[in-house]
Each structure stands twice: as structure tokens, then as C-alpha cells.
Chains A and B, each alone.
Chain A
Amino acid sequence: MIRLSEVTVNFGPIRAIDSVTLDLRGGECHALVGPNGAGKTTLLRVVAGLLAPTSGQVYLRGEPISADDLATLRDAVTMVFQRPVLFGTTVFKNVAYGLRARGATEEKVRHRVREALDMLGLAGLAERHARSLSGGEQRRVSIAMALVTDPEVLVLDEPTAYLDRDGVAVVEATLHELQHERGTTVIIASHDILQISRLADRVTVMSCGRVESTLHSRDLLISQLEDIALRDGVCNVFRAVTVRDVSGGAGLHLTTVRLLDNDSITLDVATDLTGEMTIRIPPEDVIVSTAPVLSSARNCLRGRVAAIDTDDSVVRLTVDVGVPLVALITRESLDRLQVSTGDNVFVTFKVSSVSVYGGAGAHRAEMHDQS
């Protein structure tokens, strides 16, 4: 669909993208992953026809696109920006913008805008002023603005950053529907490698403006998880396997899992999966204390402070509980705790805050029941 051949982009003395060659296939969901500053956004802007490469060539359906002809590329590709940008008018007029720019009839505009708003769960907000909406609603509006014109290629820069769980679910469902029912090619930049594992067919890993690798399967992705996680600052990601199903039955239930990295550690999680799985403990949800906190809905582990990294007001506390577990706490909390490296502490986190993702070897609970 779109092919980049040795594309380089310089911003003055800074090289944002360094000789990237990439093939984006029609109908696939292709993810870009990598740390901040890896060049993901710049690459997306090149793909969307908003930025001409300093050197290299972009092809659309095999045809080379010249710097003067970015409009042709823009006709096929629509981009959703990382920070939602909206016009200062109603939600309806925002979403209608792309259709009206293309000269659609008012009847078609009404129909398609309603459709897009319904798809993103914004039906009741059509006449609200767009900038009066919450951050999550604005992000959904910006996605609706892009998909209403039914572009061949939809480019999304961190589409679920800072969304709540429901928002993430709506957006992910929308992207899934676009790709599978309309055949839209979806290109997505994300920090969230676990989200990518849910959505993407292929993943391109970027670092310092270069493509490191393009991966084809989820297994390959998962094998890279730890590596990427370290580089990306994503932490507290572990492979685990079910030990005991506490409540049983279908749907979410309390399950005890054992970490593969250190099988002396068991945790309670809420999931509908059994077998092998990937879990993530959000560092901001981890509470550090000097005395144990006992609660049935919480996991409490004993460990030793391995490292304290201070960054302005946030402190990154690494606790060795058998595996390294990172907690993000405020500086005030650290001052209150009065702990230093080597001290014994307890880490506590709610069962409900542990994210669980499937992978090879995971089964839905009902399938497990049947087998």
C-alpha cells in the first residue's frame, strides 16, 4: 500500500529518521513501537503526507510521491494526532469537517457523522462544544473526525494514551472493526506493547530514528517484551502461570498465579484466562510500606530496596521481591518512609490493578472448562 525507501528526515542538525525502509501492506494493522524520540511521530507524518522526507522516496500503491504531490498521499491517508486537536466549534461540525472539505452532500454528511459518532460512543455529544469535552472524549472525537471520511489508511499516534479503560476499549474495538470490516489499513504508534499485541498484525521496532526490526507474530513480539520493556521504561511485566483457580467458572475471577521467573512468588489476579499469561503491575499502583498491609483484595510481598531513582517530584523505587518490582511514589512519601537502599520493605498492590494479557499457552476459562 505505502512503501518507504531509505527515507531520511532532518530537522536542522537533528536527524529524526535515518534511512528507514518500510513496507506497509494494505489491510494490515501495523504498529510502531519504541521509546520517546525514536522517530515514530515523524515517520507517521511522512506516511500521512504532512512532511516531505529530506531524502528517500515514498511510494503509494507503487507510484512514487514527489514533495510537491503530498496532497495525493493525503487523499489516501488520514492521521490522528497524539494530542487531540479540535476546531473551536461543535462536535458535529468537527466531525463533518473532512466530509465538507471533500464536498459531500449535507444528507451524506449527517448520515456519516451520526455513524462515526455512534461508533465511538459519542452520539449524545454532537451539539456540545468540542473543547468543553473531557480529554478522553476529545480523543475519541479526533478519531471520529479521521474515520468519517473512510480513508484507505488511518494513521494513529498514541491513540489511547491517557484514556481510561472504557475509552481504551471503545477505541480498540473501533480500530478492530475498521480493519476487519472496512479493510482499512491501520498504522499505529504506541508505547503500550501489550495493546500492540492485541491489535497489530506486524510490529516495527524503532530506536533513535532507525528501524531495528519488523516482527510478524505475537510470539516473536512476546519474546521481545522484556527487552523492549526495559528500553521503553515499561516495567513490572512478568510471565506467569495459573496455580489455583479460586472461584472457578466463566468470566473474571480470582486466580492465583506463579511467576515463571521466580516460582517462589505467587500473586492473586483477576482474569478469565488460565495457563500461561503475561501480567503487568502498574508501578504507580504499588504501595511501599515498612509494615505489612494485610487485605484479602491485595497482594503483599516482602522485599529489599534495590535502587532509588529520584526525578523531580517522582521517585522510582526498585524493590527486590525475588524479581525486581518498580514502585512510583512521590518524594513526600519517600521522606515519610525514610528508607534507603538495602532496607526491608513491603510492597502492596490491589488484585484489580494487575493487568493480565494472553499469550501462547493461555486459554479462555470456558475453553478450559470444556477440555
Chain B
Amino acid sequence: MTVIGSVAAYYYLAYAARRQVVYIGTTTSLYDTGLLDRLGADYEGREPGVTIAFISAGTGIAIEHAKNGDVDALLVHSPDLEHQFMAEGYGVNRKIFAYNFFVIVGPEEDPAQVNGTTPDEALQRIAAYGQASGQAVWVSRDDMSGTNQKEKALWAETGLDYDTLRQEPWFVSSGSGMGATLRVASEQRLYTLSDIGTFLKYEAEGLIQLADLVENDERLINVYSAIAVNRTRIQHVNFEGAMRFITYLVSEEAQNIIAEYGQDTLGRPLFNPAVSVLVSGGDSEVASWIRSYAFFEYQGTLYECPPPWRVGDYGLYS
């Protein structure tokens, strides 16, 4: 048994070692939709000998991974953290490849009357209802994830301070991932902010009973970008491998996969491809939302990736 085990382990490891591995740090809400596995499989089919390895963790940890040089690229959705990451010199060649919208979900009976309102209005009504009722009304992931960052920004826009709200009795902290938080919301009849992918999946599986109350608003836009880890800052990263995958992500093939993903199983796509929106004319309403939300300013102009943070010529920016 020992011998068989050792031989099997040897061949297995030898097989694994022969392949070139590109490590991509990503967020759980993105990875859990299954989109990346689809893209990775498609890419591996095109590039034999390459393995795309997704390390799925919260945005905060994913960025830590990148700073430690444990991943070669990031796929994340938190413009503020991305800007900080790049400003510190860790990341280069940022490229926005997809977007969708967060949703505010809650009990079907909607006790705070937020259905069809704007996110601003909805959050204010929820806070007011919570403060009046004294019962649990809102559940937050409270885990520094991209979704949690978005939530903080939304509360800030309504003029309420997240850190103060956290202390109030109607505000529940789940400290766990999107799926678990949705289940808490469903069981306890609470409102929460969710990414559309996890929400649709859990709803389709019959795991939760929550209504999609506020969506498709500029404030709720969720923008996914790819960033390569800067090889001049972190040695020994697989920069070329990372750049080839990022180039693939914005290719027509990958963008088509993104556009269709979820249509067959959930009845509607989970993501919208971003490249065509930003390139072709680039003056649509959504394009302006993306620009104001996820572009970085450099010398008075908004860029997807400011020129100083671009390395090499991969045809990403036209």
C-alpha cells in the first residue's frame, strides 16, 4: 500500500509540476458563480500546458496574497482598494472586464417599504425602520469583502456612518460569505446587500426566500477588473502568464462567454461584458456610470488604468 501510494503521489506531482501554473487571486462572490471556472477551462483549452489556478478569498485577503507575491494577477471588484494597491506599486495594467449590479434584497413582505426606491432612499428607510422597531432589520457581511466595501460606500452616501450603525441593535453582522449571509437574511427576515450572482443562484436552488427589491441603479454598479502583479515590485511573479490571461479576458471570445454565463441555468446572465461598452462610443449611460465609479483620475483625466501604471504593450488600451 505504501509503495502504491508513493508511486501514485510521485506521478501525480510530476504531472502537476510539468504544467505552467498562473495563480489568480479572486473574490469569493465572483468565483462562487462558476464563471471563472468556465473561463479558465476555455483558456486552458486554448493554451495547452497552462493551468489557471484561482485562489478564492475575500478581496482584502486576495490583495494580501498579491502583495506577498502568492498570486500573479487579481480579479476583484473594489475600486478604492484597487487604487490603493496600484498606488503602492503592487499592481499594473488594470483592465475592467465585466460589470453587473448589486441588489438590495429583503423579505417579500418588505416591512420598511423599500421596493422600487433608490438605494439612498431604501437604506434610509431601512435605518429609520430599524431604529424605530429596535429589532434586527439589516444584516451586513462585515468582512472587508468587496461587497462589504460597497455597502460601506452606500451607507456613506446616505449620510450615515457605517461604524456607528454597526453598534445599533437592528444592525446584524454575519461575518461570513455572501451565501451564508443570504441564508441569515432569509431565515431572520432581514435586508441585505448582495451581488446578483450569488442571489440568483441561491434563489434558483430554493435555498432562500428573499425578494429582489432595489437594483439597476448607478449607485449599485459592481465593476470587475483584472490587475497584474507588478514584477518590478514583486520578483518571480509569472507576469507574462498573467498578462496573457488578462489579454484573453478582454478578447471577444471571453467577453462572449461572460455575456452568456448564467443564461442557460438561471434564466438570465449574471454579468455584462465591459469591454464593448467602454470601447464602442463609450458614451452610453452605463459607460458613464462605470467611469465615475471605477475609473481613476490622473492629471485631470479619468483612466481605466492611468498611463504610469501601464507596463509593456499588450494592446489593452486603445
- Do A and B contact each other directly (Cβ–Cβ < 8 Å)? no
